[in-house]
Amino acid sequence: MSIQTFVDQATTPLNSGYVASTPFEADNFNQVVMSTYGRFPIALERGEGCRVWDTNGKEYLDFVAGIATCTLGHAHPAMVEAVTRQIQKLHHVSNLYYIPEQGELAKWIVQHSCADKAFFCNSGAEANEAAIKLARKYAHTKLNIDYPVILTANASFHGRTLATITATGQPKYQKDFNPLVPGFHYVPYNDIQAIEAAIAEVDQGDSAVGAILLEPLQGEGGVRPGDVAYFQKLREICDQTGILLIFDEVQVGMGRTGKMWGYEYLGVEPDVFTSAKGLGGGIPIGAMMCKEFCDVFQPGEHASTFGGNAFVCGVALTVCQTLEKENILENVQQRGEQLRHGLQAIAKKYPNQIAEVRGWGLINGMELKADIELTAGDVVKAAMDEGLLLVPAGPKVLRFVPPLIVSAAQIDTALQIVDSAMAKLL
Ligand SMILES: *Cc1c(COP(=O)(O)O)cnc(C)c1O
């Protein structure tokens, strides 16, 4: 089969009117897969654009997008073409050799951000691990700190490896996994006095703060945007002290907020930032970016077997180029406004249930009142029954992170379903 025939076949929409044939048995699944996830009782097997179908043939509007990951939705023709092209050409060799696709993707990121250099890995946690290692080496070799401490925020989320659950300021992710990685210290988010106090407190003997790691908007922690004045003051403190400012852009980067990077909302540039979720449009990839002055790694000091292979980089580059070519950031801004506006109207309708609506672009949270029994999980289940997929961000916050290609009509449908789910739950 020629490449073109293959691509033509692959890009023909397969999913319209899809009828599933295989019943899915959760019991069989649970016998062989570790139960590390609390799963909803459906199995998804097909997708197209912002819609997915379960194994019973039921259609859903997907406002989860693989947790803020499938930026171009499902089965986007540009991704199908890129995956097909790349697997036929070359998918994986090793970082023993130069990988042109990796260079092209790094060039795209450098041209579209404040960074000078990129390192590629396979996930958000790994990107943050790379940033933590870079920060420690920078502190040892450039700041002469023998015991560098990294400040992170309460209610943050940075991943599930040992170092990144330690960085994550939420005890529920750390419970039972002691001993944690030393060298982290937590502060409340958006509180500049707490940062100043922590820097003073940590500074004794061999130990001092070497880096501050924060999300521009806390995603898992409840969709909480960073405060502009706070981040600007942080930048000043870091400039004065030499402390590295690291942003975790894993969830908010790559156009999710209507700007390419979350830090653009804050008017400050980080020294180091990480990306993953949206970067590959659903293909597993992570990246750590830094400015020239803190590019301290030497050959052999950090590595990943799969990191930055031709397959993921070729596909991620196509995702990046498609974001630009199809003017998707503009859609994110407009659809984001529409969604927040609609959610605010729903919040007004249910003032005893809904506390607040907040977010940037297409990452939005609707927080339920603390003093009622209703949880975000209850609303997620009710919405799922009516054909809308949502994900909580903590027990009381509903998170809306649809594909960035979502249409105005799909936003309206989602809003109607949320309204009707809320009405049923009263
Ligand atoms: C999801 C997420 C991570 C972890 O990414 P993985 O790919 O699951 O390792 C880290 N930081 C933030 C802000 C995230 O949202």
Rounded to 5 degrees, φ, ψ at 365 are -125, 145
CATH assignment of 3-69+328-425, given 3.90.1150.10, 3.40.50.2000, 3.30.70.20, 3.40.50.1000?
3.90.1150.10
Pairing of strands 51-54, 44-48: antiparallel
pLDDT for the residue numbered 1: 43
Which ligand 1 atom sits closest to the C-alpha of 123? 7
Distance 11 CA to ligand 1 centre (A): 30
Report the chain's C-alpha Rg in angstroms: 22
Residues facing residue 365 across a β-bridge: 358, 399
Separation CA 160–CA 166 (nearest Å): 9
The catalytic position among 119, 184, 231, 248 is: 248
Residue 30 CB contacts under 8 Å (≥ 6 apart), including other chains: none
pLDDT for the residue numbered 13: 47
304-321 tens-digit pLDDT: 999 999 999 999 999 999
Does 227 score more than 90 pLDDT?
yes
pLDDT for the residue numbered 277: 98
**How does DSSP assign 50-97, residue by residue?**
TEEEETT--EEEESSHHHHT-TT-BS-HHHHHHHHHHHHH-----TTS
211 half-sphere exposure, CB direction, 13 A CA radius:
29
159 half-sphere exposure, CB direction, 13 A CA radius:
25
Averaged confidence pLDDT in the chain: 95
pLDDT for the residue numbered 121: 98
The catalytic position among 63, 119, 120, 157 is: 157
346-377 tens-digit pLDDT: 999 999 999 999 999 999 999 999 999 999 99
103-132 tens-digit pLDDT: 999 999 999 999 999 999 999 999 999 999
Total count of residues recorded for the chain: 426
- Of the candidates 284, 226, 278, the one whose C-alpha atom is nearest the C-alpha of residue 252 is 278
378-420 tens-digit pLDDT: 999 999 999 999 999 999 999 999 999 999 999 999 999 999 9
pLDDT for the residue numbered 213: 99
Does 139 score more than 60 pLDDT?
yes
Closest Cα to atom 5 of ligand 1? 124
Does 11 score more than 70 pLDDT?
no
The answer to whether residue 231 is catalytic is no
CATH assignment of 80-325, given 3.40.640.10, 3.60.15.10, 3.30.70.600, 3.40.50.2300?
3.40.640.10
Given a contact cutoff of 8 angstroms between Cβ atoms, the answer to whether 402 and 51 are in contact is no
Residue 123 CB contacts under 8 Å (≥ 6 apart), including other chains: 159, 276, 284, 286
Separation CA 151–CA 140 (nearest Å): 16
Which ligand 1 atom sits closest to the C-alpha of 220? 15
The catalytic position among 63, 277, 297, 396 is: 277
Given a contact cutoff of 8 angstroms between Cβ atoms, the answer to whether 116 and 277 are in contact is no
Does 67 score more than 60 pLDDT?
yes
Domain boundaries along the sequence of the chain:
3-69+328-425, 80-325
pLDDT for the residue numbered 271: 98
Does 258 score more than 80 pLDDT?
yes
DSSP-assigned letter for residue 283 = B
3-state SS class at 244: strand
pLDDT for the residue numbered 26: 86
pLDDT mean over 240-254: 98
pLDDT mean over 220-229: 98
Residues facing residue 169 across a β-bridge: 154
pLDDT mean over 32-49: 95
pLDDT mean over 324-344: 98
Does 17 score more than 60 pLDDT?
no
Residue 49 CB contacts under 8 Å (≥ 6 apart), including other chains: 73, 74, 75, 76, 403, 405
In this structure, what token pair is assigned to residue 83?
């995956």
Q: Ligand 1, residues 250, 261, 272, 360: which to mutate, most atoms within 8 A of Cβ?
A: 250
Separation CA 396–CA 374 (nearest Å): 8
pLDDT mean over 245-258: 98
Confidence of residue 19 (pLDDT cuts 50, 70, 90): low
Q: Is 102 exposed, middle or buried (0-12, 13-18, 19+ CB in 10 A)?
A: buried
Does 10 score more than 90 pLDDT?
no
Q: Is the dihedral of CA 32, 36, 42, 45 positive or negative?
A: negative
Give the H/E segment covering residue 409. helix 408-425
pTM: 0.95
